[in-house]
Amino acid sequence: MSAEAGHPTAHLDGERINVMKPWVGVEEAHAVAEVIASGWLAQGPRVAEFERAFASAQDVAYGVAVSSCTAALHLALVVAGVQPGDEVVVPSFSFIATANAPRYVGAEPVFADVDPVTGNLTVAGVAQVLGPRTTAVIVVDQGGIPADVEPLAELCAARGIALVEDAACAVGSLYLGRPVGVGADIAAWSFHPRKLLTTGEGGMLTTDRAEWAERARRLRQHSASVSAAERHASLRAPAERYTEIGFNYRMTDVQAAIGLVQLGRLQEMVERRRALAAVYRDALDGVPGLRLVEDPPGGAANFQSLWAEIGDEFPLDRDALLDALAAEGISARPGIMAAHLEPAFSGWPLRVPLTATERLTARTLILPLYHELGEAGVLRVADAVRRASAPVAGHARREVRT
Ligand SMILES: *Cc1c(COP(=O)(O)O)cnc(C)c1O
């Protein structure tokens, strides 16, 4: 499949550039058609196959497919044994699902500030807010930038605290040369189209702990003791029991079939994004007051979200830059949200000031980056940013080029 040939106009002046676009095509359509022809539409053999393939790609023993990353985060806290009244340390600087998850189990999210460069939790930031009631930490690989998990894992292990990795954005990102997620007790993934690898909607839990995987597998299907596959395998289905209060968090075979095709392309997707991020980096090099997020020490990002921080030397603030880009048909986005600033968390007590969080959420924007954007598309966005940063110099550049 030639992405460039399929979408040759993405870079043309006047053509709208979106912030993100899933890379899907005829192979996914064929895979879905096969599932429909098979007559097995809900959770079945394709889901089982996707779980095995995904776990193997992530270098972990078990994968449990679910309906979303939000569902995965909820089940992760249940199997980790988080109880009502417990505290769970989370970044506020994340999609709100991270902060909501502890509340689903009656626990309290405690916000830690993030590193001002990577936007991720740090061991020092987490240590500041730990308390006697803390039973879990949710570390996020924000925007696909790998978090520095190793020191956090040591801190958590020493205190008997579960470390959950919200790797929603980070499929294909590496930390210390291995897929992100392996350093945590359990990791949660998203396959929403806003992320890199999509199944439409969908999520996954990965873990090396057999008991946690087994319990999550039951919980996602009402905690039924007999799976749909087992029931189907015999004419006289075995009697089933419902072992605890469960949920319907199942993925469908239709979704898993899409996921299997996408997983086969993961390497290519990540390489392409890293190449396009490098084009951005070159094209925006030296723009005063503009900082592009980079690989952290020990990590290689998938650049699911390539964000830029707008400093004081940039002539426009973040929102004015978004307006300038929109005027050129370019849809960038404000950066990552901060949960503690949302009405859902109004009045929520803060244990430490969230200085880096508030700075990053106010000053960052996410630049368009998707598989089919191409180098020319990146250069068009970069050119628009440059002209916004130095209107006069920008015009001169333009004349030279035409
Ligand atoms: C997108 C996202 C989620 C939620 O994923 P869903 O699959 O939509 O539930 C959770 N955490 C982070 C960090 C995300 O970016």
Mean pLDDT to the nearest integer, 183-187: 98
Can you tell me the distance from the alpha carbon of 126 to that of 114, in angstroms, rounded to the nearest whole number? 9
Structure tokens at 219: 């919980």
Residues 242 and 179 in one domain: yes
Cα 391 to ligand 1 centroid, rounded to whole Å: 37
Average predicted confidence (pLDDT) for the chain: 93
Residues 280 and 228 in one domain: no
Can you tell me the distance from the alpha carbon of 53 to that of 257, in angstroms, rounded to the nearest whole number? 12
Final residue before a domain boundary, out of 264, 287, 307: 264
Final residue before a domain boundary, out of 264, 282, 312: 264
| pLDDT tens for each residue of 331-383 | 999 999 999 999 999 999 999 999 999 999 999 999 999 999 999 999 999 99
Range of the structural domain that residue 117 is part of: 26-264
Which residue lies with its CA nearest to atom 6 of ligand 1? 69
Q: Is 89 helix (H, G, I), strand (E, B) or coil?
A: strand
Cα 286 to ligand 1 centroid, rounded to whole Å: 33
Count up the domains in the chain and report the number. Answer: 2
Residues 131 and 259 in one domain: yes
Q: Which has more confidence, 15 or 287?
A: 287
97 lines ligand 1 (CB under 6 A): yes
Q: How confident is the model at residue 11 (pLDDT cuts 50, 70, 90)?
A: low
Cα 135 to ligand 1 centroid, rounded to whole Å: 22
Q: Which of 20, 67, 68, 69 to probe ligand 1 with, by most ligand atoms within 8 A of CB?
A: 69
Ligand 1 atom nearest the C-alpha of 195 is 1
Residue 212 has pLDDT above 70, yes or no: yes
Residues 227 and 297 in one domain: no
Residues 210 and 316 in one domain: no
Q: Is 305 helix (H, G, I), strand (E, B) or coil?
A: coil
Residues 61 and 114 in one domain: yes
Cα 90 to ligand 1 centroid, rounded to whole Å: 14
Q: What is the pLDDT of residue 67?
A: 98
Residues 208 and 122 in one domain: yes
Instruction: Give kind and range of the element (H or E) at residue 363.
Output: helix 355-363
Q: Enumerate the active-site residues.
A: 195
State the distance between the two ends of the chain, measured CA to CA, in whole angstroms: 32
- CATH of residue 143's domain is 3.40.640.10
Q: What is the pLDDT of residue 392?
A: 55
| pLDDT tens for each residue of 230-274 | 777 778 877 889 999 999 999 999 999 999 999 999 999 999 999
The strand order across the sheet containing 162-166 reads: 62-66, 203-207, 186-190, 162-166, 134-140, 87-91, 108-112
Residues 110 and 256 in one domain: yes
Residues 81 and 124 in one domain: yes
Residues 144 and 75 in one domain: yes
70 lines ligand 1 (CB under 6 A): yes
Residues 182 and 295 in one domain: no
Q: Is residue 298 part of a domain?
A: yes
The per-residue DSSP string of 127-158 comes to: HHH--TTEEEEEEE-GGGPPP-HHHHHHHHHH
- CATH of residue 351's domain is 3.90.1150.10
Final residue before a domain boundary, out of 264, 295, 318: 264
190 lines ligand 1 (CB under 6 A): yes
| pLDDT tens for each residue of 30-56 | 999 999 999 999 999 999 999 999 999
Q: Is residue 193 part of a domain?
A: yes
Q: Is residue 14 part of a domain?
A: no
